[in-house]
């Protein structure tokens, strides 16, 4: 079996959107492709070692995703290089990935556009500083798009890990 398929979610601070997406996708893929993937997240202006926000943890927990041990990390060229598939939560996040690694364009997508490679469009709004209800809405929005994208993500995992 080949090495694991690595999926990277990118947001701004790596304490809300990208950790929630990471937790949600891990839960979905554990049922379908256990041991064949790794999901990570990073922030474009994120510092290292900060936990997910309290409300991000709580919103994720409602849907059986545990992100309570999350530690933020900044986006780096090394993370981009290691990833097989990269999702930016906004077009600005996609732009930052491509600023660091122009050659990552073919594996980098605006989250809501996947698998369309168009880099502009609707992003996932940042719930930071808002009430729990907004975090719940954000988690549901992320989950809705992951549900639509899951088959395409699984096909990419299979293409790499069954090669």
Point out the residues that are catalytic.
Answer: 11, 17, 126
CA gap 30, 28 in Å, rounded: 6
Give the three-class secondary structure for 74.
strand
- Residue 35, exposed/middle/buried by CB under 10 A (0-12, 13-18, 19+)? exposed
Q: What is the enclosing helix (H) or strand (E) of 27?
A: helix 17-32
Q: Starting at the earlier edge strand, list the strands of the sheet with 5-11.
A: 37-43, 5-11, 85-88, 108-110
Distance of CA 144 to the CA centre of its chain: 14
């Amino acid at each position: 079996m080949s090495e694991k398929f690595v999926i990277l979610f990118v947001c701004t601070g790596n304490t809300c959107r990208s950790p929630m997406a990471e937790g949600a996708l891990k839960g979905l893929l554990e049922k379908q492709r256990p041991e064949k993937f790794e999901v990570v997240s990073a922030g474009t202006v994120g510092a290292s070692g900060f936990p997910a926000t309290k409300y991000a943890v709580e919103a994720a927990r409602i849907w059986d995703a545990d992100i309570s041990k999350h530690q933020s990390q900044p986006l780096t060229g090394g993370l981009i290089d290691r990833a097989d598939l990269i999702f930016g939560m906004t077009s600005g996040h996609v732009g930052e990935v491509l600023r660091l690694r122009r050659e990552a364009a073919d594996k980098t997508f605006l989250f809501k556009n996947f698998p369309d490679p168009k880099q502009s469009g609707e992003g996932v709004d940042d719930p930071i500083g808002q009430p729990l209800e907004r975090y719940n809405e954000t988690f549901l929005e992320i989950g809705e798009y992951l549900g639509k994208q899951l088959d395409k993500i699984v096909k990419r995992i299979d293409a790499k890990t069954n090669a």
